[in-house]
Chain A
């Protein structure tokens, strides 16, 4: 139903504008705050217009040091976060697409049992298995390393399940046609299956990248060396200064920087995503 009366249009626009305002206000405060001189937050009022320290703040945080207790520049934290998020995303997609491939297209003993075991790990996110996982990673000598950050988060029942559903919707005739065309398991995987599930891969990439980027607890636990700190977890440590003032202007810069990559991924992938949906010729 499409209403076209002026009053309802006005009302709906009003609601939308209020929504945008509510969502955008904190971002605005962060943006403005990142340009203020040191200490302007401590006066009790929140500044709502730009200060004059923008360039200095951003340069300092990005290239010198993040401030408060962190002695490393934020570009290094950004890099760490990026390595972790990409590692988790690519690892998750690779592992789950391969396991879904095995589960859907190959007949081996205990196939469905294995699927249900994978499915049950849905009930075991990192937070639940954190102590034993820490133990394992410590024993493998992977504390303070990228592999330690990435590996425990790579297994994904959700993604496996999603790819399984996607593969099961591929008509059997297509698989048989490929068999007659002489495509072995490897060729079938790369020539037919991967291109056909590219929209799913794009969607998962977005979701998993944000999931990986926002990891907080796990990096907090296994990193003690600040060269492996990730951006999201260090914002917290920038706020916990034992004595003295919190450098809000630097915190705001870091926060904005932490927001940028996920936004970039969503915006960048959205195009591919929509394109994939539009000519989804199944």
Chain B
């Protein structure tokens, strides 16, 4: 059953700025949807419209089949976790968690059992009588999640909940959020600009660009078949190498002297792309092209080699290669590469759409 339906949802701010032209999305029960995109693309706006914190200026929002456009946030049966946690500073952890229940007239005993259940699940039982000011960042984050969970809502909304945590804790919480969501099977809408978070958490990803959904799909769909150059560059780290090229009967002409052979019926200006991790080190005899090494980033398990494509032109075209294990090529040296055909991505140069 579809849980949450966004029909032609749009937002124009009172100052006339159109943050979201139109978005259609239907979310199945228990699905984990991640909204991802660069800063200012309208992720928070969309989430806040679902929460009811921002008015919907166009379209319909349905939760479990009911149109909730004009309902107060409290009546929508949603719970939200904010980036800065937004815990009530003067209340204990327990009071923070049960405040929503109290306002809904839930009896004291029931509140107590619910808070205890959730506190146990999140490992907060020891902290129930502390104030938020006496907790670490990670603990506050948990309390914020606990506050959302005790309400047992139909939809969880998260707005960059992990961005204030350090890297290690972020990974740990990411895993935990995913496990909790599986266990509770609550439909979740999660905003992030971190694409690792997006890839690992999502059942389906929505990539937003300037308020438009560029592509909606599973993480692997987006990785394997990005629909646009924007998605291609956004998903994957380091991002995909993209080059302007002409598709002719001879193949993909990256420059006058560098042509990659490929039979394709399309003719015209294109963008040719390949991910850094799909380029293979080769030698002069077998290589498709070469690069001049400019910088090497050794990460231990892998090495990122930044260079410029040697295509016979003066114009420097940066290219990144990701190789497993340690490599130490000299700066300025030449490195030959092969680009396996199955990993090529072709996009129309004008529409930026996948060919």
Judge: A and B partners, yes or no: yes
Residues of A within 8 A of B (CB): 171, 173-174, 176-183, 187, 191-192, 195-196, 198, 279, 281-282
B103 touches A176 (CB 8 A): no
B73 touches A180 (CB 8 A): yes
Q: Please indicate which of the listed interface residues A182, A191, A196 has the most CB atoms of chain B within 10 Å of its own CB.
A: A182
B90 touches A181 (CB 8 A): no
A sample of 30 inter-chain contacts (CB < 8 A) reads A173-B85, A176-B51, A176-B53, A176-B73, A176-B82, A177-B86, A177-B87, A177-B147, A178-B99, A179-B52, A179-B72, A179-B73, A180-B51, A180-B52, A180-B74, A180-B79, A180-B100, A181-B74, A181-B103, A181-B147, A182-B74, A182-B103, A183-B103, A191-B99, A195-B90, A279-B133, A281-B131, A281-B132, A281-B133, A282-B133
How many whole Å from A113's CB to the nearest CB in chain B? Answer: 19
Which residues 40-59 of B have a CB within 8 angstroms of A?
Answer: 51-53
Evaluate whether A182 and B100 lie within 8 angstroms (CB atoms) in the complex, with A176-B53, A281-B131 already known.
yes
Q: Is B325 an interface residue (CB 8 A)?
A: no
Excluding A180-B74, A195-B90, A198-B90, 5 further A-B contacts by CB distance (< 8 Å) are A176-B82, A177-B147, A196-B90, A279-B131, A282-B133
Q: Is B178 an interface residue (CB 8 A)?
A: no
Across the two chains, which residue of chain B brings its CB closest to A170? Answer: B89
B84 touches A171 (CB 8 A): yes
With a cutoff of 8 Å between Cβ atoms, the chain A residues found around residue B90 in the complex are 192, 195-196, 198, 281
How many whole Å from A180's CB to the nearest CB in chain B? Answer: 5
B74 touches A179 (CB 8 A): yes
With a cutoff of 8 Å between Cβ atoms, the chain B residues found around residue A282 in the complex are 89, 133
B86 touches A176 (CB 8 A): yes
Across the two chains, which residue of chain A brings its CB closest to B53? Answer: A176
The 7 closest A-B pairs by CB, nearest first: A281-B133, A182-B74, A181-B100, A173-B86, A182-B103, A177-B86, A195-B90
Q: Is B88 an interface residue (CB 8 A)?
A: yes
B83 touches A173 (CB 8 A): yes
Q: Please indicate which of the listed interface residues A171, A174, A180, A282 has the most CB atoms of chain B within 10 Å of its own CB.
A: A180
Q: CB within 8 A of A180: which of B80, B84, B87, B89?
A: B80
A174 touches B104 (CB 8 A): no
With a cutoff of 8 Å between Cβ atoms, the chain A residues found around residue B201 in the complex are none
Expressed in whole angstroms, the Cα–Cα distance for A181 and B147 within the complex equals 9
Q: Is B232 an interface residue (CB 8 A)?
A: no
Evaluate whether A192 and B74 lie within 8 angstroms (CB atoms) in the complex, with A177-B80, A181-B100, A281-B133 already known.
no
Interface residues on B, range: 20 to 34
What is the 8 Å Cβ interface bit string for chain B, positions 85-103, against chain A (1 contact, 0 not)? 1111111000000011001
Q: CB within 8 A of B88: which of A179, A182, A192?
A: A192
Expressed in whole angstroms, the Cα–Cα distance for A171 and B133 within the complex equals 15
Q: Is B202 an interface residue (CB 8 A)?
A: no
Expressed in whole angstroms, the Cα–Cα distance for A191 and B95 within the complex equals 11
A174 touches B103 (CB 8 A): no
How many whole Å from B94's CB to the nearest CB in chain A? Answer: 14
Expressed in whole angstroms, the Cα–Cα distance for A171 and B87 within the complex equals 10
Q: Is B227 an interface residue (CB 8 A)?
A: no
How many whole Å from A192's CB to the nearest CB in chain B? Answer: 6
Expressed in whole angstroms, the Cα–Cα distance for A171 and B86 within the complex equals 8
What is the 8 Å Cβ interface bit string for chain B, positions 127-146, against chain A (1 contact, 0 not)? 00001111000000000000
With a cutoff of 8 Å between Cβ atoms, the chain B residues found around residue A281 in the complex are 89-90, 131-134
A173 touches B84 (CB 8 A): yes
With a cutoff of 8 Å between Cβ atoms, the chain B residues found around residue A198 in the complex are 90
A174 touches B74 (CB 8 A): no
Q: Is B78 an interface residue (CB 8 A)?
A: yes
Expressed in whole angstroms, the Cα–Cα distance for A244 and B80 within the complex equals 78
Expressed in whole angstroms, the Cα–Cα distance for A198 and B285 within the complex equals 78
Expressed in whole angstroms, the Cα–Cα distance for A279 and B82 within the complex equals 23
With a cutoff of 8 Å between Cβ atoms, the chain A residues found around residue B99 in the complex are 178, 181, 183, 191
With a cutoff of 8 Å between Cβ atoms, the chain B residues found around residue A187 in the complex are 103
How many whole Å from B72's CB to the nearest CB in chain A? Answer: 7
With a cutoff of 8 Å between Cβ atoms, the chain A residues found around residue B74 in the complex are 179-183
With a cutoff of 8 Å between Cβ atoms, the chain B residues found around residue A196 in the complex are 88-90
How many whole Å from A83's CB to the nearest CB in chain B? Answer: 31
With a cutoff of 8 Å between Cβ atoms, the chain B residues found around residue A176 in the complex are 51, 53, 73, 80, 82, 86
B72 touches A174 (CB 8 A): no
Across the two chains, which residue of chain A brings its CB closest to B105? Answer: A182
Across the two chains, which residue of chain B brings its CB closest to A177? Answer: B86
Across the two chains, which residue of chain A brings its CB closest to B151? Answer: A181
Evaluate whether A182 and B84 lie within 8 angstroms (CB atoms) in the complex, with A176-B53, A281-B132, A281-B133 already known.
no
With a cutoff of 8 Å between Cβ atoms, the chain A residues found around residue B88 in the complex are 174, 177-178, 192, 196
Q: CB within 8 A of A182: which of B87, B104, B131?
A: B104
